Every structure is written in C-alpha cells, then in structure tokens.
Structure 1
Amino acid sequence: MDLRHNGSAIEDSAALAERQSGSVASELEALFRDVMALRTHVLRDASKLLAGFGPGEHQPEIINLAHYISLRRHDIRSLQRRLMCHGLSSMGRLESRVMPTFDAVLAALSAMTGQAQDASFETDADFFSGQDHLDRVTAELFGPKPVNRRSRIMVTLPSEAAEDSRLLRRLVRKGMNVARINCAHDNPFVWRKMAEQVSAAARKENKDVRILMDIAGPKIRIESVFSVKKVPKLVPGDRFRLVLSSKLGAHPEIMVSASVSLPQMVERLTVGDRVLYDDSKLEGAVKSVSNGEAIVEVNRSKAGGAKIKPNKGINLPDTSLGISPLTNKDKGDLKTVVALADMIGYSFVSGPDDIDLLEDTLQAMKLSDKPLGIVAKIERPEAVENLPALIARASVRRPLAIMIARGDLASEIGFERLAEMQEEILWICEAASTPVIWATQVLESLVKFGSPSRGDMTDAAMAARAECVMLNKGPAVDEAVELLDRLAMRMEGHMTKKTPTLRALRSW
C-alpha cells in the first residue's frame, strides 16, 4: 500500500469536506439574510394595508391577514426551494401564522449558523392560535364540531320542508348541521314554518342545528316571457329582447321577449355588454339599446340550445348597475329573519360600506341587539377585490363567514378563473381566521338525479377543506348528506385546510 498516496487522498477529502462545509455555511447565512429581509418588507407593507382597513387597534387575525397579503405580493418560489434543501419549512402553509412561521424559520437558521434568534411564539398554542380562533368562530356560527368530521353540512330547504317533518328529521339524522332558508322564495309564513320544523327535528334528534336565512338582494331574474309560438331553444346567432314589462309583446323580427325583475338594468346596458343567463347556460352580447329594450345576440349556449324561462337568473359582468345590496323587500323581510335565524346571508356584497349599510339598517329597525352572524356571499368581482377590507370591517362587529357563491361568481368572472379564485378565497379567509362556505352544485347529480358523477365526487372531496359545505335542494338531498358526511370524514384524515396530514395508507 502506498501510504503517501493514501495520505494525499485523505487530505484531499478533508479539504473537499471543508470547502463543502464552508459553502453550506455561506448559503445558510445568505438564507438567513434573505428571510430576514423578506420579513422586514412584509411588516412594512402590512402596516400600510392595516391603515387602509381603518383607524384603531386591529384584531390579531386581521394583522395576520395583512401580513399574508403582503407576503403573497412577493414571488418566493426560489427561496422556498433553497429552504427545502436544508430541511426547513418552505413557508407554503402559513396562512393562519405568518410571523410565527417566519420566526420559526429564522430561529432554525440561527441555530444552524450559531447565531441567537428569538421566536415570536413560546408554545404550540401560540403558534397555532390563528387556527384555534378559526375553530372557535366556526363553532359559534355553525354549531359544535361533529364527532366524525371538521366541516359542517348545510342544506337549502325546499318549500315542502314547511310541512314535511320526516324530511327534516332524516336530514338532521344523516348529518345536516345548518338549514338554509332562501328568502328569494316563499314568504314569511312559510319561512316560520320551516324554522319551526328545523327546531323540532333538532330537538327530537338531540342535535344542534343552526338556521341561515338568505335575504334575496337585488338578484336579476327573468320575470315574464313572451313568444308568438312555443318558446324556442336559442342557439348562437339567435337574438332575444330584454324589455321593461310595459314593452313585453310581439316584435316583427325577434321571436322571444323577456321582462326582468330589475327594470332599470335594461336602461343601464350598453352595446357590447355581456349577458349571461341561468348560470351561464347561455351567453350573449348586447347589440342595441333604445326605448326601454335591449337586443341581445347569443354567442354561446349549452348543447341543443337554451330556453328563456321565468325565474331564471341573469348576470351582467360588464354592467355597472349602481344598486344597493339591500332592497325594500329585504328591509321588509329583516324583522322575520332576525326573529328566526342564527345567521343572515347577505347577497351581492361589494365592499366594506355594504357591511355598514346592513348594520345601520338593523340599528334603525331596532334589530341590532340579537347576536346574529353574517354570511357575506361573494358573487361579484368587486367583492373578490375588496374581500380583505370587507372581512376587516365586518369581523369586529359580529361573527363572520364568507360564502363562495360559485354559480354567480363563475358567471361574473368566467369559468376559467373560478377554480383559481376559489382557492385564493380559501387562503385569504384562513389568513383572517374566517370560516368559508363552499356553495353551489355540490354533489348536484346525486341531489337531483340520485347518482353522483366523478366530477361531483372530486369537487365534494375538495370542498371538505371549507368549514361548511352547502347542498342544494333536490329529491335525493338526504342521500347526498349521508355521502358527504362519510366523504368529509375520510378527507379530513388527509388534509386540514391547505395542510396535508399523513394518516397511514392502507391501499398498498
């Protein structure tokens, strides 16, 4: 054996190890500086956001929300990769704990480089305080956590629920936690009967079931339809008229005319504005507006065409309607709603001022003392844009939840953007410790036709990340409740909010 050669190899190996060690140390020091610099930027920018939310002392959850928004204005993907290489948090799951996560990473980097760095939290409870607050608000709004799952199940009640006590007992027995009464339909007498049936079923099943009542808001719907012959199915290239009710009647060239529930919208339309009908089953563009009528040309429709029918909704994503989210009907309904409900569903909210409008209305009607929750329904692009400020304004007054009203929202922002936007809303709300309701067409094929589609099942599995999942009314809604109960239980073993939880796998 050549000892001289062997000794040289050992020296080369030691030198290489020293160089590598020095390289790693340099990278760790650079990482510490970069993370600290990012933290400084986040704190600085967050203070400006908080000032925009209004004067006064902000709740810790709103401060965390400002930190989160400030962080998400930076692209940190390369920094995340560098952190992961050293076994450190990539900061990809910090929605409810922005500064604690920063400080945990900095404390780890400090230990690895021989520096001293204190964390901003002392215990696990401090680190997860945002999540704990979210759990408390969720329980306050939607009732205690079910034994087998974290998310709650909400069901929109059909009109027959006012008389059918067996339906309510089945729904409660199978897992319904919240009953939703839609005040766009029926009347106060029917709503009161529904609420009585819910309370009776909950008592008999020994369950805590909450009631959400949605005030209707200025929903634009088709009111009446006129056609010389049987109403045809409209396809691309066809035209129809939107008119004031006084203009409803025959037209020499256009077969279908329809009046709308909000007549002033016809006069606010301009040429080129998009008109979406019945959750985008038909989309058209305004070709002309004059004398209380708008001519709309169909650009896209569902396969085989779409009929214009009364009571179907219309969305106008390009049109500024300038209308209040509280209609005279809503104000008349509020007295009944406050007496019966645990939560008010607030439709067509656009920003913080709309929260003030509801609170001022309740106070003027001497209805503000009852500890009601507010569910702000996110249906318009303005509501998405103003969501952080809306949450900051509303959450200081009452327990607040956000409903992702995916039907109207998809029509307003486009189906292509919906999947991305519902994720962003989940993140923003988690950062603010605000519960989310995942709504519209969950398990729709099962609810309506008795058999779920593959897409239904995947959507429902993803919905389990929300604090509450809403099912629409339909013949098989009780079966859907039962399935969703089991599905949410299984999915909770894999994921809580955005964070994967690695329960043992049994498939392999």
Structure 2
Amino acid sequence: MMQTDEKHLQEMITQLDQLHHDALELEKKFAIAIKSVHPSFRKSARNLLHYLSLRQHDIRHLQEGLSRMGLSSLGRAEGHVLASLQAVRDMLCQLRSCEVIKKPVPVSFDESGELLEKHTNDLLGPSPKKHGTRIMVTFSTDLAHDHELLKRMLLAGMDCARINCAHDNEQVWEAMVQSVRKAEKETGRNCKILMDLMGPKLRTGPLKPGPALLPIRPIQNELGQLVSPAKVWLAPPGEVSEVPVDASLPLDEAWVAQLQQGDKLRFRDTRGRKRTLTVMQRKEKGVIAHLFKTSYIGTGTELTIKKESALERSAKVGQLPASEAPIYLRKDDLLVLTKEQTPGEPALYDAEGHIVKPAHIACTLPEVFSRVKAGQPILFDDGKIAGTIMEVNEDNLLVKITEAKESGSRLLYDKGINLPETKLNLEGLTQQDRKNLAFVAKHADAVSLSFVNQPEMVEALHRELKELRAPQLGIMLKIETKEGFRNLPRLLLTVMKNHPAGVMIARGDLAVECGWERLAEVQEEILWLSEAAHIPVVWATQVLESLSKKGRPSRAEITDAAMSQRADCVMLNKGPYVLRAIELLDDILKRMQEHQHKKTSMLRLLHVSELEMPTSDTAN
C-alpha cells in the first residue's frame, strides 16, 4: 500500500477515535441526567448523547472516504453510535494492519433494534402481523355511538385510538373508551388508547354571535356532484337523535308526530331558495329526513307538508343557536388582539369606506402580552392568515395583516395562533389539562402532551401522574412548535424518566412555526433523534387527508403515506371516509415494508429486473 494511502487511513482512524472520545465526554457531562432516566431507557439515553455528540461534527468528508472504500459511511448509526464507530475502525485497522482495540459499547447493532421494538410495543401495542408500522386514528364524536363502524375500523387495521380532549366531554370520551374495549373483545384485536391534553395552545377567543342560522350541506365531490344527502333530525326541542345526523331542527311535537316516511316538506331558506326535505325514517321521538341541496335555515323558517291528509300543514322551526359571525381579513388590514375575552367583531367603516374601528378578537393565553415584541410575526388558523405585530400594549396587540386571500380570509373562534419567533416559556400544565388528566389516567394507555416546549412541562406532567398514582401511563410528546423542536434533546432526556414514552411529529403547527420550506428537514431530524433514543415516532397530520374527508386521495398523499413507513406509527385524521383511508394505508404499509426499513432500502427481488434475452429477430 502506498504511503499516501497509509496516511489517509490513519487520518480516518484518528478522526473516528476523536468522535468516540467526544461522545464519551458528552456522556460524562450528562451523567446525572442519565442516572435519573427510567432503567429501561438507561442505555438509550447514553446512545442519544453519543448521537448528539456525533452530530456536533461535520463528517461529510469522512463519509465520502469510507463510502469510496465500500465501508459503512455511518449514515445509519443513529441507534448504535459507538458500535458503528467501532466496526468501521476495526475494518480500517484490518486494511492498515494496525492493532484492533476493542472498546465497550452500550448498545450493539442487534440490541438497538430490540430496544426500539420493546419500547414501541410497550407504548403502542404489539406489532401488526402484516407490517411493523402501527395505524392510529383520531376519533370523531360519532364514534361514541357508532360501534359497528369502530369495529370495522379495528378489523381494517387500526391499532391505536386517539381521543382529543380539546373536543367533546368526559361522557363522550367514556363512551368511546367503552366501545373500543368492547370491540377488542369482539374482534380479538388489541387497540391502545391515546388521549391528547390540549396544552398551552394559543387560540382565538369567542366572536360576537350572528343570526340564529343553521347551514346544512350535503356531501359533494370535487366536481360539485352529490355524494350523500344531509341527514336532518326533526323532533321536539331537547330530543336527541339515536343515530349520527348532520343537523337537528326543533319543531312542534304534534306536527312531528304526524310525519310519515315519504312525506315531502317544502320550504324557502333564508336566501329565498326553494328546498325540500324528504322523510326517510320514523323514530320514536322524531323523524330523519334527507336534504339534497345546501340550505340555510333560520329560527322561524316554515316547513309545509304537501299532502291533503295532514292535520297541520305547516310548522315553524324553533329557536336555533346563534351562528358565528366571522371576521374577514385582507392584506394590509389591521387586527387588534385583546387580553380581555370580549367577543370579537369585524371592523367598522364610515359611509366613505374608511375604518372607524379595526377588527378585534381575544387571545386565550394572557401570558402572551408580556412576552411578544413589536416586529415579530404572528400567524392564524394554521398559517392561512399571517401578520406582523406593530404595537405591544399591556392589554392588546396591534397586528397588520401581511398574507390573506384577496377576497378575504375568514378568522373564526378557537383557531390556532402561532408566534414562531416568540419565547413564551410556558412551563406548567394548564388548569384544564390537570382536570382532564384525572380522567385520562383512569381510562387511557397513554397521554399526549400538546405544545410541549420546555422540559419543565414534562416534569409537571410526571408530578401530576405520580399524584394520580399512574406513573406507568405512557407519555407522547407532541412536537409542534419551533421552541419544542429546538429543545427536543432535553425534552427526550426528561420524558425518558417515564416509561413508556414516544414522540409525535405534529406537522400542521410545526410547518407553520418552522416554515413550510423547512418542514422536511425538521421532520428528518426528529426521526433521527428519536431513533437514537430508541423512542417510537408517530407520523401525524394530513396523512391521506383528501381520502378521509372527500373519498379520493391525491397523488402526493400516496407518496407521503408510503414515506410514513419510516416512522413507528402513522396517524389518520377523522373523516366520513376514514375506513377507506385505514384500508388503503394498511395496504401501502404492507407493500412498503418489502422495500424499506426506516432509512434502509431492502433489496428484495424486483420483477422488473427479470429481463428476457432478445431473440435474433428482435436483435436485428
């Protein structure tokens, strides 16, 4: 071997030794933190620190050199850092005929996979038979009562149920939990239950009530063609339908009692459009009718039966709840964000079209007003509306809108607010989260901590679980803010004090906070760090969203679903076609398992590679 080759080999060996040394030094610095993690995570915590040390160096030149020699370029070292460094060093020593120095490693190649598999099983349940990636589904309210659909979802491939505490109430949640447990017994399939705490989510406050108006819309496809009529419950005030419906109209009890299947109920909606409700089914307390065209129905809308035998031909719709009056915002508009929970209102204009008073809406977290600064960006409703904070006062913020639809973007109640450049330093659990946690600890297998930014929030959750005598409850960290992503290493070391634990990549808010252009690389980094900690990852937000909500997926969604196989679990959102989404995702994951494991391509036999030798005729 030439002298230059000897020198190059020695340089690489020296660099590997330095990487190994630095990894152990970082481990020493965090010795106390390692001792405090759960025994099941002790080796994983050490490996995480080794990986963080490795990524403090730019080793691309070393990787290129190793790759040219046909050796491992350390691109898959996440789960077993020191073992990878040791293996590559041994090979270089074989080439250089130098002494192979065996050093102890905390996690071997085999042990890395075993640790991740165990931690995933403990949090998300046993691996599906068809593929190694679990499927999680967010529950909609109707699943509290539609047991047959829930059972079909379980049989189609659902492994985990997600219940969001930001919606519904304990009565609905308990019905969902009981239905899941019943379906498990009936199908013989396991289903873990994850419940989301709302966390310190910034949201818009209430709006000034609009008119008592109920829009009812049938389901249509992308071409505007009818897919399914709207199901409308007609009954006396206070009577609730036994089956899921799209809308309910309160009507006189005697008038409803005379309705029969097939009756046509004519009316004009609030726009003056002629519409018809067709009675499809008679129930004990009321009737279910179908509506085939979009209608706007208000308090006092008159319904008329078109048959001579009717005792009472007409009845008026009773008192409906007030509708929301949205705030429409355009570029360069001003918006006042208030600390006081005063109902929001649109801007007021004079006769000449000049603004007399800008639009205003409240913010749910008062801590914001003491921590934001003028000039910082602010986003609303998953980034659909963007603005810049112009003025900061004790009780309000003045925002100038910088991005919105030309026709005006609607801002409604309970929409998310993101402050990507603001450090909010929210450390504890909210009062509502603590209240909900008592229910979660009793009924769920794991709890998801939303908008977790600081390790102190995780510590607060640990203390609450200890008080509730539920330290065994799994914890899922939802990474959905720029601050949470920046603090991910410390968050991982903190959550590893509890076992089991996991990470959810909440790509919706994360994209808004970090920027759409950075989402892909941020997602990759979360996957790397979590694998280094042998912690399972949930790939979430808008997976097969078009299929779940509209019945047909986009091409990009199919590719995204295929890439999700690199995570340990994939989450689907609720929608009328969620069953089809589960079935398709299950099929995609099964197919992709043959081709990919995490970042590693699996080189199975490819049928397209089976070339036939050309005959003499075709050759000519």
Q: Same fold (TM over 0.5)?
A: yes
2: CA distance, partners of 1:84 / 1:324: 45
Question: Residues 125-155 of structure 1: CA distance to partner in whole angstroms, max 9, x if unpaired?
Answer: 9322122100101011111110111110100
1: CA distance, partners of 2:62 / 2:469: 48
Counterpart in 1 of 2:199? Answer: 217
Counterpart in 2 of 1:10? Answer: none
Question: Residues 211-251 of structure 1: CA distance to partner in whole angstroms, max 9, x if unpaired?
Answer: 00011112222232249996464221122232222374576
Q: State which drifts further: 96-105 or 284-293.
A: 284-293
Counterpart in 1 of 2:333? Answer: 238
Counterpart in 2 of 1:259? Answer: 362
Counterpart in 2 of 1:117? Answer: 100
Q: State which drifts further: 374-383 or 161-170.
A: 374-383
Give the 3-state SS of the residue equivalent to 1:296 in structure 2. strand
After superposition, the Cα gap between the structure-2 partners of 1:390 and 1:107, relative to the gap in structure 1 and judged at 3 Å, is: same
| Contact map agreement 1:231 1:256 (CA 8 A) in 2 | no
Q: State which drifts further: 372-381 or 250-259.
A: 250-259
Counterpart in 2 of 1:330? Answer: 433
2: CA distance, partners of 1:182 / 1:207: 22
1:112-191 equivalence runs, <5 A: 112-120=95-103, 126-191=108-173
Q: How many residues are treated as equivalent by the alignment?
A: 486
| Contact map agreement 1:224 1:260 (CA 8 A) in 2 | no
Give the 3-state SS of the residue equivalent to 1:222 in structure 2. coil
Give the 3-state SS of the residue equivalent to 1:507 in structure 2. helix
Counterpart in 2 of 1:359? Answer: 462
Give the 3-state SS of the residue equivalent to 2:390 in structure 1. strand
1: CA distance, partners of 2:393 / 2:37: 50
| Contact map agreement 1:241 1:254 (CA 8 A) in 2 | no
Task: Quote how far apart the aligned CAs of 1:363 are.
Answer: 2.4
Task: Quote how far apart the aligned CAs of 1:28 are.
Answer: 2.9
2: CA distance, partners of 1:106 / 1:302: 57
| Aligned: 1:499 with 2:596 | no
| Aligned: 1:427 with 2:528 | yes
Higher Rg? 2
1:186-201 equivalence runs, <5 A: 186-201=168-183
Structure 2 gap ranges (5+): 212-324, 349-355, 610-620
Counterpart in 2 of 1:40? Answer: 21
Counterpart of 1:424 in structure 2: which amino acid? E
Question: Residues 329-356 of structure 1: CA distance to partner in whole angstroms, max 9, x if unpaired?
Answer: 1111111111110001111222322221
| Contact map agreement 2:342 2:361 (CA 8 A) in 1 | no
> TM-score scaled by structure 1?
0.89
Question: Residues 446-482 of structure 1: CA distance to partner in whole angstroms, max 9, x if unpaired?
Answer: 1111111122122212211111111111111111111
| Contact map agreement 1:100 1:120 (CA 8 A) in 2 | no
| Contact map agreement 2:369 2:393 (CA 8 A) in 1 | no
Counterpart in 1 of 2:309? Answer: none
Counterpart of 2:502 in structure 1: which amino acid? A
* Aligned equivalent of 2:587, options 481, 486, 500: 486
Counterpart in 1 of 2:237? Answer: none
Counterpart in 1 of 2:553? Answer: 452
What is the aligned-residue RMSD (CA, Å)?
2.6
| Contact map agreement 2:336 2:396 (CA 8 A) in 1 | yes
Higher helix residue share? 1
Q: State which drifts further: 53-62 or 162-171.
A: 53-62
| Aligned: 1:287 with 2:390 | yes
After superposition, the Cα gap between the structure-2 partners of 1:69 and 1:179, relative to the gap in structure 1 and judged at 3 Å, is: same
Counterpart in 2 of 1:415? Answer: 516
Counterpart in 1 of 2:243? Answer: none
Structure 1 gap ranges (5+): 1-19
Task: Quote how far apart the aligned CAs of 1:267 are.
Answer: 5.8
Give the 3-state SS of the residue equivalent to 1:195 in structure 2. helix
| Aligned: 1:79 with 2:79 | no
2: CA distance, partners of 1:503 / 1:233: 55
| Aligned: 1:464 with 2:565 | yes
